[in-house]
Amino acid sequence: MPPRKVATATPTREAVFQAAARLFSARGFDGVSVDDIAEAAGVNKAMIYYHFADKLTLYRTVVADMLRVVAERVNAIADERAAPAAKIARFIETFVRHADDRPWFPPMMMREISEGAPHLDIDTLANIRNVFLGFGRILKEGEAAGVFRKIHPVLAYTSIIGPLIMNAARERVAAQPGRQNLPMLVAISHDDLIAHGQETARRMLATDYPGPQKAQRK
């Protein structure tokens, strides 16, 4: 049997990729069929299998694409000759702008994480590790320089990324008809979101951060 031909980047492959990303983001892995993707991409189903082995491979390709780009950007920030506080600020902006470029990123990751990442293999998950390691490098640099307090990197990471992902989910709810006037669903510019995230991170990582206050005993 001849070896499978390696598909290169083509307009057809990109159309399939974009259609799959939109559908997986809206319906999840189980809610999308290969026929759905073919129809949305405007291609014959056989073309999907020409570029991707199966639906799971296509799904993982979409997830890996967004994580790989984030990992590359975060580690490039960590390598910069800049103050740790400036790097954290860039880290936050990178996440928000990445979601602007790839709007399917937050909902797909939220769904996968909440379900225990059942569709992701070790190679795909390695990209998440690379994002976290890049963030950790920035954190350690700040601690070594005496400008960040010592904090568990997982807690710092989730405290910074969590609100950004939740806001993306909030925006997704607000996009539904008839919901824009609800107080929690008002429009917030991403410039304001970035500025708020940066200020929150600055306060949280500051060496004079008071930490959680213990409840007063009566």
pLDDT, one tens digit per residue, over 136-171 is: 999 999 999 999 999 999 999 999 999 998 898 888
- Domain with residue 152: its CATH number is 1.10.357.10
**Residue 38: domain span:** 9-52
Identify whether residues 188 and 128 lie together within a single domain: yes
- DSSP string computed for the chain: -PPPPPPPP-HHHHHHHHHHHHHHHHH-STT--HHHHHHHHTS-HHHHHHH-SSHHHHHHHHHHHHHHHHHHHHHHHHHSSS-HHHHHHHHHHHHHHHHHH-TTHHHHHHHHHHTT-TT--HHHHHHHHHHHHHHHHHHHHHHHTTSS----HHHHHHHHHHHHHHHHHHHHHHTSTT-TTSGGG----HHHHHHHHHHHHHHHH-TT---PPPPPP-
Residue 119 lies inside a defined structural domain of this protein: yes
One domain, residues 101 and 124: yes
Determine, yes or no, domain membership for 102. Answer: yes
Q: Are residues 178 and 115 in the same domain?
A: yes
Q: Say yes or no to pLDDT of 133 above 80.
A: yes
Give the pLDDT mean for 166-186.
82
Q: Are residues 106 and 44 in the same domain?
A: no
Give the pLDDT score at 206: 96
State how far the Cα of 69 lies from the Cα of 63, in Å rounded to an integer.
10
Predicted TM-score (pTM) of the model is: 0.83
Higher pLDDT, 65 or 176: 65
Q: How many domains does the chain have?
A: 2
Say yes or no: 25 and 106 in one domain.
no
Instruction: Judge if 32 and 126 occupy the same domain.
Output: no
Same domain, 20 and 91: no
Q: Which has more pLDDT, 145 or 111?
A: 145
